[in-house]
Amino acid sequence: MKVSLQVQYAVCGVFDLAYNGQGQPVQIRVIGERQVIPVRYLEQIFQRLRRADIVASKRGPGGGYTLARPPARISLRQIVEAVEGPIGAMVAMPAPAGARRSLRPDFLWGDLAERFADVLGDLSLEQLCRDAARAEVERAHPGAPMYFI
């Protein structure tokens, strides 16, 4: 199964917030630079993630995005479905015109979608961050402190 570029970018962006954000707002530009994602595209994806209550936004100086919930309560399934919709629709295979349903294994697609959704549902953002630390994925170095007057 091929995972769309939007889903890949969404997972990378939310991972960056969890792994590097330290609970502080992170500007979309910074996430885009670290994850090598076009900022305009990432902004559209983050709007969907915000509507799904995965990220929260804060405007103004010191603003940016944070996770809307603890990483342990955000699953990869929730991220995927916020961007693409229900997983069943991603896996479904439409029957060709004139095909006899009784001769096709159409039952398979729903089963595959359910299994794929279960795997993604069992993997939390917190687990992904633990696995990244174990794999020695480099963390972003915090920049110099910003002072606002």
Global pTM reads 0.85
Model pLDDT for residues 60-75, shown as the tens digit of each residue: 888 899 999 999 999 9
- pLDDT of the residue at 144: 45
In angstroms, the Cα distances linking 8 to 13, 38, 148 are: 9, 13, 35
- pLDDT of the residue at 91: 67
Interatomic CA distance for residues 81 and 70, integer angstroms: 18
Task: Give the model's confidence band at 93: pLDDT under 50 very low, under 70 low, under 90 confident, else very high.
Answer: low
- Tell whether the torsion through CA atoms of 126, 130, 136 and 142 is positive or negative: positive
Q: Read off the amino acid at residue 142.
A: P
Interatomic CA distance for residues 23 and 33, integer angstroms: 19
Model pLDDT for residues 29-50, shown as the tens digit of each residue: 999 999 999 999 999 999 999 9
Domain ranges in the chain are 5-134
Residue range 108-123: average pLDDT? 92
- Please provide the CATH number assigned to the domain covering 5-134: 1.10.10.10
Give the distance, in angstroms, between the CA of residue 72 and the centroid of all CA atoms in the same chain.
Answer: 14
* More confident: 32 or 103: 32
* More confident: 94 or 122: 122
